[in-house]
Amino acid sequence: MRVIARNSLTDFWSKHPEARVALERWFKLVRAAHWISTDEVQRAAPRSKVLNRERVRFEVAGGNYRLVVAFDFRRQVAFVKFIGTHGEYDRIDALTVSQF
């Protein structure tokens, strides 16, 4: 899959270096994937949570950070919609957020 808004991940880990390894691992996982549904995403990343048919929330760095991604499975694209702390995540609507 192609990942859209990778720069947002690098910007985030420059401010939160403890998230870098986890975000790089997530990026490599998604780049190598050929998922066709959120069920496949959840099988590959068991700690993720399916929010709807296109959006999935990932826990990053032991759950200290949250990553919301919208998938277009037909085009094989993953759009980073939000990355932030657990507290910041609690203040957004994960189904509609579009931070980037």
Beta strands in 6-93 (DSSP E): 49-50, 55-60, 65-72, 77-85
- Among residues 12, 32, 33, the alpha carbon closest in space to that of 85 is found at 12
Q: Is residue 99 over pLDDT 90?
A: no
Counted domains in the chain: 1
Alpha carbons 76 and 25: distance in angstroms, whole number:
18
Q: What is the pLDDT of residue 26?
A: 96
Query: Parallel, antiparallel, or unpaired for β 55-60 and 49-50?
Result: antiparallel
Q: Residue 16's domain spans which residues?
A: 2-90
pLDDT tens, position by position, 21-49: 999 999 999 999 999 999 999 999 999 99
Q: Is residue 80 assigned to a domain?
A: yes
Structural domain includes residue 51? yes
pLDDT tens across 44-67, in order? Answer: 999 999 999 999 999 999 889 999
Query: How do 55-60 and 65-72 pair as beta strands?
Result: antiparallel
What residues form DSSP beta bridges with 67?
A: 58, 83
